[in-house]
């Protein structure tokens, strides 16, 4: 426990969808808000904000307990479980409790299904943060935007013209296959970094620090399929980014989302599609076409003694209309491929496949080719 530091934690899960997998139900939000209000009254969290993207319920918390705190994780687990039991199941919402993979809480929600991103830091004189939450995609979805924000001078002017950013950033990368992490420093090791994170199915950025060690960003890295050993839905990741005053400006962080890059997920967690930046409001924040396309919501807060001042809805701006329209065009183009790669993911990445059954059925009909 670090008393003089603030921690922002986001713990999230799909605990049941409303009309299939497309959005959360308003009663889930209402119920979660009431539960979180009690935790605030008890002083466990200084502040919170309950929100959603598509069918994922997001608990954003400001507190003083540090990362991986048992009580904070238990609170989130209990709230997500209670929403499942008291709202999702009684309303027979779709896939009620689908991301809660463990029977009971065991100290830390990591590895139990929910996605987690946490960042502990000493508050600056003023500390703007941005929180991004995506639906219908895998954790590797942040690799490209995080690289552009913290390492690409064509995106982030400050890397060149602000002396505080000029010495670069340290990226912590998780190898999701063997659970190991490696730290790489940009700009010196940019090519090594890109060699890894260019494969977002395997290598996922988990943390970013400024070269002097200042914590700058944290992303969730859960791979539900690796935990469950079977398809349980894509992970729908979240990330926290600190901005301004010697870090990328809010506008530099947002700039990368003007490009709706391709991410793995979409229908049945088995298709590449564009990541569309949308407002948190009901009119845009739902996954419809082909269960998508994959979406990202961005909220801005000023952190003030672990309180969350805000949010502001970052993509609720005509400046992102074009990105949404381009995402629509990319969606048309990708959909025209139907069941063919690269719209469909590779057999290894697909988490929803009949290939073993098809191969088994055909095994006696395969003959040696001449």
User: Which residues belong to the active site?
Assistant: 14, 231, 234
120 binding partner (options ligand F6R, Mg ion, none; Cβ < 5 to 8 Å by kind) = none
- By CB under 6 A, is residue 233 in contact with ligand F6R? yes
Question: Does residue 284 have a cis bond before it (omega within 30 degrees)?
Answer: no
CB of 175 to ligand F6R, least distance (A): 23
For residue 62, state whether it binds ligand F6R (rule: CB under 6 A).
Answer: no
C-beta of 148 vs 286, nearer to ligand F6R:
286
Handedness of CA 153, 170, 243, 285 (dihedral sign): positive
Nearer to ligand F6R, 204 or 267 (CB): 267
293 contacts which partner out of Mg ion, ligand F6R, none, CB within 5 to 8 A by kind?
none
Q: Which residue's CB is nearer to Mg ion, number 247 or number 267?
A: 267
Looking at residues 20 to 39 of the shown chain, list those that interact with ligand F6R (rule: CB under 6 A): 20-21
**Could you say whether residue 234 binds ligand F6R (CB under 6 A)?**
yes
CB 361, min distance to ligand F6R, A: 21
Q: Is 12 in the site for ligand F6R (CB under 6 A)?
A: no
CB under 5 to 8 A by kind: which of Mg ion, ligand F6R, none does 22 bind? none
Q: What is the spatial distance between Cα 260 and Cα 156, in angstroms, rounded to a whole number?
A: 17
Nearest approach in angstroms of CB 136 to ligand F6R is 5
Draw the binding track, 173-212, toward ligand F6R (x: CB under 6 A; -: no contact).
----------------------------------------
70: CB partners within 8 A, 6+ apart:
107, 108
For residue 262, list its beta bridge partners. Answer: 274
Q: How far is the CB of 222 from Mg ion (least distance, A)?
A: 12
**Judged by CB under 5 A, does residue 291 bind Mg ion?**
no
Cβ-contact 131, 239 below 8 angstroms: yes
| 21 contacts Mg ion (rule: CB under 5 A) | yes
Cα 335 to Cα 123: distance, rounded to the nearest angstrom: 45
Q: How far is the CB of 264 from ligand F6R (least distance, A)?
A: 10
Return the HEC string of the chain.
Answer: CCCCCEEEEEEEECCCEECCCCECCHHHHHHHHHHHHHHHHCCCCCEEEEEEECCEEEEEEEECCCCCCHHHHHHHHHHHHHHHHHHHCCCCCECCCCCCCCCCCCCCCCCCCCEEEEEEECCCCCEEEEEEEEECECHHHHHHHHHHHHHCCCCCCHHHHCCCCCCCEEEEEEECCCCEEEEEEECCCHHHHHHHHCCCCCEEEEEEEECCCCEEEEECCCCHHHHHCCCCCCCCCEEEEECCCCCCCHHHHHHHHHCCCEEEECHHHCEEEECEEECCCCCCCCCCECCECCEEEEEEEEEECCEEEEEEECCCCHHHHHHHHHHHHHHHHHHCCCCCCCCECCCCCCCCCCHHHHHHHHHHHCCCCC
Q: Which range, of 49-57, 120-128, 237-245, 299-307, touches Mg ion by CB under 5 A? A: 49-57
Kindly determine how many residues on this chain lie close enough to bind Mg ion according to the rule CB under 5 A.
7
| Among the listed residues 242, 268, 295, 343, the single contact to ligand F6R using CB under 6 A | 268
242 binds, among Mg ion, ligand F6R, none (CB under 5 to 8 A by kind): none
Asked if 93 is part of the footprint of ligand F6R (rule: CB under 6 A), the reply reads no
Give yes or no for residue 127 binding Mg ion (CB under 5 A): no
Per CB under 5 A, 17 contacts Mg ion: yes
Stretch that binds ligand F6R, among 122-130, 146-154, 264-272, 294-302 (CB under 6 A): 264-272
Question: What is the chain's length?
Answer: 370
The distance of closest approach from Cβ of residue 254 to Mg ion in the complex, given in angstroms and rounded to an integer, is 22
| Residues contributing to the site for Mg ion (CB under 5 A) | 14, 17, 21, 55-56, 135, 236
| Residues contributing to the site for ligand F6R (CB under 6 A) | 20-21, 136, 233-234, 267-269, 291
């Amino acid at each position: 426990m670090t008393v003089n530091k603030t921690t922002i934690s986001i713990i999230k899960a799909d605990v049941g969808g409303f009309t299939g997998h497309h959005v959360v139900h308003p009663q889930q939000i209402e119920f979660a808000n009431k539960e979180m209000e009690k935790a605030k009254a008890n002083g466990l969290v200084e502040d919170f904000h309950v929100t959603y993207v598509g069918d994922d319920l997001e608990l954003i918390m400001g507190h003083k307990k540090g990362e991986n705190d048992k009580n904070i994780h238990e609170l989130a687990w209990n709230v997500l479980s209670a929403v499942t039991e008291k709202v999702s199941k009684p309303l027979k919402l779709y896939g009620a409790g689908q991301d809660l993979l463990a029977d009971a809480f065991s100290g830390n929600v990591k590895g139990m299904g929910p996605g987690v991103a946490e960042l502990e830091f000493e508050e600056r004189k003023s500390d703007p943060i941005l929180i991004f939450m995506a639906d219908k995609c895998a954790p590797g979805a942040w690799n490209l935007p995080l690289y552009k924000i913290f390492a690409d001078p064509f995106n982030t002017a400050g890397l060149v013209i602000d002396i505080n950013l000029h010495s670069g950033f340290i990226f912590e990368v998780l190898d999701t296959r063997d659970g190991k992490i490696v730290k790489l420093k940009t700009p010196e090791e940019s090519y090594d970094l890109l060699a890894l994170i260019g494969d977002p199915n395997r290598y996922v950025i988990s943390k970013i620090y400024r070269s002097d060690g200042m914590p700058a960003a944290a992303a969730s890295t859960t791979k539900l399929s690796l935990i469950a050993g079977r398809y349980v839905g894509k992970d729908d990741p979240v990330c926290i980014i600190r901005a301004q005053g010697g870090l990328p400006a809010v506008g530099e962080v947002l700039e990368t989302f003007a490009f709706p890059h391709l991410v793995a997920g979409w229908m049945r967690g088995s298709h590449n599609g564009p990541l569309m930046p949308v407002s948190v409001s009901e009119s845009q924040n739902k996954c419809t076409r082909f269960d998508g396309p994959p979406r990202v919501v961005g909220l801005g807060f000023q952190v003030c003694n672990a309180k969350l001042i805000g949010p502001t809805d970052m993509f609720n701006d005509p400046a992102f209309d074009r990105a949404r329209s381009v995402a629509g065009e990319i969606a048309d183009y990708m959909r025209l491929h139907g069941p063919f790669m690269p719209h469909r993911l590779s057999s290894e990445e697909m988490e929803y496949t009949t290939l073993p059954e098809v191969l088994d059925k055909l095994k006696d009909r395969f003959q040696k080719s001449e």
